[in-house]
Amino acid sequence: MAEPVALKLTQKDFKSDQEVRWCPGCGDYAILAAVQSFMPELQIPRERTVFVSGIGCSSRFPYYMNTYGMHSIHGRAPAIATGLSVSRPDLSVWVVTGDGDALSIGGNHLIHALRRNVNLKILLFNNRIYGLTKGQYSPTSELGKITKSTPVGSADSPFNPLSLALGAEATFVARTIDSDRKHLQSVLRAAAEHQGSAFVEIYQNCNIFNDGAFETLKDPSTRDEYLIRLEHGQPITFGADGQRCVVHPPGGFGLEVRETASVDPADIVVHDATVAEPAYAFALSRLPGLDLRNTPIGVLRQVQRSSYDERVREQTETAKAKATGSPEDQLAGLLTSGDTWTIL
Amino acid sequence: MTKQVRQLDRVVIRFAGDSGDGMQLTGDRFTSETAQLGNDISTLPNFPAEIRAPAGTLPGVSSFQVHFADYDILTPGDAPNVLVAMNPAALKANIGDLPRGADIIVNTDEFTKRNLTKVGYAVNPLEDGSLDGYALHPVALTSMTIGALADHAVSKKDAERAKNMFALGLLSWMYSRPYESTIRFLERKFASRPELVAANIAAFKAGWNFGETTEDFGVRYEVKPARMRPGTYRNITGNQALSLGLVAAGVRSGLPVFLGAYPITPASDILHELSKHKRFGVTTMQAEDEIAAIGAALGASYGGSLGITTTSGPGVALKGETISLAVALELPLVIIDVQRAGPSTGMPTKTEQADLNMALFGRHGEAPVAVVAPRSPSDCFFAALEASRIALTYRTPVILLSDNYVANGSEPWLLPEVDSLPDLRVEFATEPNGDDGKTFLPYLRDPVTMARPWAIPGTPGLEHRIGGLEKADKTGDISYDPANHDFMVRTRAARIEGIPVPDLEVEDPDGDARTLVLGWGSTFGPIGAACRALRQRGLPIAQAHLRHLSPMPANLGEVLKAYDRVVIPEMNLGQLAHVVRARYLVDAIPYNQVSGLPFTAAKLESMLEEVVKNG
Ligand SMILES: Cc1ncc(C[n+]2csc(CCOP(=O)(O)OP(=O)(O)O)c2C)c(N)n1
Ligand code: SF4
Ligand SMILES: [Mg+2]
């Protein structure tokens, strides 16, 4: 077979002719630009790329991508994308969803797609608010959040999306931030390479209804103190001068943050995204406090497990390999199977 | 002793026993023997609602009714001529359906004090004279079976369990059935345990010989083969036929079939059946819920498969939003609703036709879909093909309304030639369709079918976005333009109304009827049987039966207006009647039964007689 010719694709090729309609300043713009400029790198023809979304501001995303796309219904994108992915292994299928879309109305489909390990790249734009419906609290809003629907503060505790995904034993779990294009693209790259479900939480600013939700993670004066940038194979240290680190305290079952100077360097956890047991990545996902201090970003978990798509296809292929004759002949055989009798 | 042989034209037998007594299997075997003989047949099982109700109780009674005749029949029969009751519960649960004079064969071994008390018999009904009006045959089924198997190397339990074969042997003798197929069946079923093959065959023969020798059964009956159209037949249930129809739709369209389903009675058997046919390129997915099931099916349709979802009423309710999406996306999708008695969980193992309104109207917005309904178990095969044909040709969701009665009932099916099945091949869009030769217009319609192009992902140059937001005509771009929305709503309605469906045929042999009885779906059998009976008595009546409920046949209005009276029997509170009255301004008379049971022909006959005679 001849060496495939490199596809000459640019960011522009992935822009559709539709006018982008998010509020000026919305974090969704930055994510769109990052995705559009990253896609050419994958060398997947546009026609083999499909974006499926639910409903929400974030879910408008497919309209702006010059690929195949479906803007479906609230919360159901993972289910629809599962049918597409399983029946069309030749496609690269991406799901774009919001915190309400994925974790409230569509929570069931999300966890089941992850448990099955369907070959989907799932991008969850988490702005910790319902944007499209104009500002109600969401399943990721902090307890006590004051919104239109919770004038004296919300009474329910939020989900940690990464913990949830890990609880469903997702094989790829990562987090990134709308404003950090380089980091965002590095995570997308790893997600795209993953076989099976890749779950990526993207912190996204809704400057209209929840402005500054992630400001401490973005502001140059605080971000180094707040963010833990995970690198596979590297000791987990952070802070402007690496003055903090993550250790596994003896006797405990979680991970903890310590002053680097106070621990034996050998005790600093070396990040390994490939640890089979999800408990390690889960412990990482539990590090941030309510104020977002100690927020890990990057790939928490990346393990290999056969995908639902592969397993289903293998069953079909095995059955087909055993069959003989044309489909019509096989059908005739099927119709006449069992007890038959003939009347002359 | 030579026994008298009497000819009968038809017989209805009901096998009834505890869920553990193997009555479904016994009924199936008797049906198969009867099919081999060439009678026309119609069967109906009646399962207990509980999976394992306590043994010997009324809720644990399971039965199987088989009607066979030397002419073509339409229903499993109103009332049994013969009841086989394996225990007091089976007798008690079924005696009410028996006409006086019917034969009752009871397993006397089970009529113990304890078992009688369990079902509330203070005195033994076999002894208190309460069954005097019937031809009672007390048979010690269990002990005779155990006795017959004394020399067999099987446990007492296995010997006792073979009593259903004893009963089958006796009934097979009584009705002169050929039993080779049962012997073959037992050899297959117990292939790995030869001792059980031998024991069950011995029990069967003991039952047969008992009939031959005992004085209690003085008469043996024969029912001659029916005159049926030449060809190869098999006995088939509605759910089986429907499954095969879906497989056939895949073969005839050349498309992969994708079934998304969530288990629910009485639809689960379709999922079970289709999951066996992977070699035909059928993928089945047991989804996390009904919404995911239809979502996955729609996703597969988007990718170029024949997307199907199977469920019952509660599931259709959950799928409504996705059906609306499919209406907006204009993609093929087949939704199968095997109806059961509602509302809510209702009576999951009982039949009803009360989802018609939901199928026609049960979505938000103006969301028209095509709706078809099978009329008999074997017709489910053709209804499945027709639903697939409409979905694929007209790029629309199609709801198929089966119900528990046709789904679990069975009848002989004259197997069709594969070549005679409709050609369902479709073409995917491959080229831009705009005037400039470069643009792709995803909502530019075919002038004949009004279907939009099916441009599946992977097709270079046709990249486009679709979604639930209102779309501009032709371009499919998001549009809030008032005139466009009005146009699109009317277009979606017109394209369903415009689907050509065959004209409604009226059966009125003498052409002098003034009353028309109109039905849809599974009531075809009882309505047909009632009409025949009336005609035999010289009362003219016309029958018409709808397969297509949306769109309705173009000549329906004309047909309705040609009669003085129109009667519409339904197993709901008048849902079709409502539509017919609204659409055609015809003063149709609804006749309704919502007992969870199919109409009996007799009941329809007396109701229709009233109408015919008194107007
Ligand atoms: C069945 C249904 N229920 C409710 C809505 C209204 N709705 C649309 S988007 C949305 C929440 C969106 O929040 P999120 O998923 O966080 O997306 P964002 O707009 O924040 O990107 C809701 C409640 C709907 N479209 N469909
Ligand atoms: S409401 Fe918020 S999330 Fe939605 S577009 Fe505006 S800024 Fe973005
Ligand atoms: Mg949100």
> Minimum-distance ligand to the CA of A101?
1
Q: Whose CA is nearest to atom 23 of ligand 1?
A: A133
**φ, ψ for residue B519 (rounded to 5)?**
-135, 180
Out of A46, A50, A343, name the one closest to residue B38 (CB). A343
Q: Residues of A numbered 91-130 whose beta carbons fall under 8 angstroms of chain B's beta carbons: which are they?
A: 91, 108-109, 112
B506-614: CATH architecture: 3-Layer(aba) Sandwich (3.40)
* Same fold for the pair B234-420 and B506-614: yes
Q: Which long-range contacts (CB under 8 A, 24 or more apart) does B179-183 make?
A: B179/B33, B179/B204, B179/B208, B180/B36, B181/A339, B181/B29, B181/B32, B181/B33, B181/B36, B182/B29, B182/B32, B182/B33
Beta carbons of B457 and A63 less than 8 Å apart: no
Q: Where are the domains of chain B?
A: 4-223, 234-420, 427-500, 506-614
Compare all CA atoms of chain B with the CA of A313 and give the residue at the minimum distance: B283
A11-233+271-308: which CATH topology? Rossmann fold (3.40.50)
Establish if A344 touches chain B: CB-CB under 8 angstroms. Answer: yes
Beta carbons of A316 and B418 less than 8 Å apart: no
pLDDT tens-digit readout, A130-160: 999 999 999 999 999 999 999 999 999 999 9
CA A106 to ligand 1 center in whole angstroms:
10
Out of A72, A338, A343, name the one closest to residue B231 (CB). A343
- Please give the sequence-ordered ranges of beta strands (E in DSSP) within B27-120, or none if there are none: 40-46, 61-69, 82-85, 103-107
How many angstroms separate the CA atoms of B410 and B236, rounded? 5
> Minimum-distance ligand to the CA of A56?
1
- Helix, strand, or coil (residue B511): coil
**φ, ψ for residue B234 (rounded to 5)?**
-145, 155
How many angstroms separate the CA atoms of B525 and B418, rounded? 26
B4-223: CATH architecture: 3-Layer(aba) Sandwich (3.40)
From first CA to last CA, the distance across chain A in angstroms is 57
Report whether pLDDT(A312) > 90. yes
The pLDDT of residue A338? 82
How confident is residue A1, by pLDDT bands cut at 50, 70 and 90? very low
Residues with CB under 6 A from ligand 1: A 55-58, 74, 98-101, 125, 127, 129-133, 138
CA A71 to ligand 1 center in whole angstroms:
12
Note the Cα A195 to chain centre separation in Å: 13
CA A27 to ligand 1 center in whole angstroms:
17
The pLDDT of residue B191? 95
Locate A146 and state its tokens.
Answer: 């004051």
For domain B234-420, give the CATH superfamily: Thiamin diphosphate (ThDP)-binding fold, Pyr/PP domains (3.40.50.970)
Average pLDDT over residues A326-331: 97
pLDDT tens-digit readout, A193-247: 999 999 999 999 999 999 999 999 999 999 999 999 999 999 999 999 999 999 9
- Residue A337, sorted as left (phi over 0), alpha (psi -120 to 50) or beta, turns out to be beta
| Cα of B457 to nearest chain A Cα, Å | 6
CA A136 to ligand 2 center in whole angstroms:
12
Q: How many residues does chain A have?
A: 344
Q: Whose CA is nearest to atom 5 of ligand 1?
A: A74
Beta carbons of A312 and B283 less than 8 Å apart: yes
Beta carbons of B458 and A47 less than 8 Å apart: yes
Residues 6+ away with beta carbon under 8 Å from B259: B246, B270, B271, B274, B282, B283, B284, B285, B297, B308, B309, B310
How many angstroms separate the CA atoms of B106 and B116, rounded? 13
Establish if A76 touches chain B: CB-CB under 8 angstroms. Answer: yes
pLDDT tens-digit readout, B337-388: 999 999 999 999 999 999 999 999 999 999 999 999 999 999 999 999 999 9
- Give A-chain residues touching B307 at CB under 8 angstroms: 83
The pLDDT of residue A4? 62
Report whether pLDDT(A47) > 70. yes
Please name the residue that has the structure tokens 């004296």: A152
Locate B167 and state its tokens.
Answer: 């009963």
**φ, ψ for residue B109 (rounded to 5)?**
-60, -25
Element (H, E) at B590: strand B589-592
Average pLDDT over residues A319-344: 93
- Please give the sequence-ordered ranges of beta strands (E in DSSP) within B135-270, or none if there are none: 135-139, 219-223, 231-237, 257-261
CB pairs under 8 A between A and B: 203
- Classify burial at B519, counting beta carbons within 10 Å of its beta carbon; exposed 0-12, middle 13-18, buried 19 or more: buried
All CATH 3.40.50.970 domain ranges of chain A, comma separated, are 11-233+271-308
Segments of chain B with pLDDT less than 50: none
The pLDDT of residue A251? 82
Beta carbons of A79 and B287 less than 8 Å apart: yes
Hey, what amino acid is at A343? Answer: I
Residues around the ion ligand 3 (C-beta < 5 A): A 98-99, 127
Q: How far is CA A120 from CA A69, A204, A241, in A?
A: 14, 21, 37
The pLDDT of residue A2? 52
The pLDDT of residue B318? 98
Report ipTM (2 d.p.).
0.97
The pLDDT of residue A3? 56
Q: Residues of A numbered 22-61 whose beta carbons fall under 8 angstroms of chain B's beta carbons: which are they?
A: 45-48, 50, 52, 55
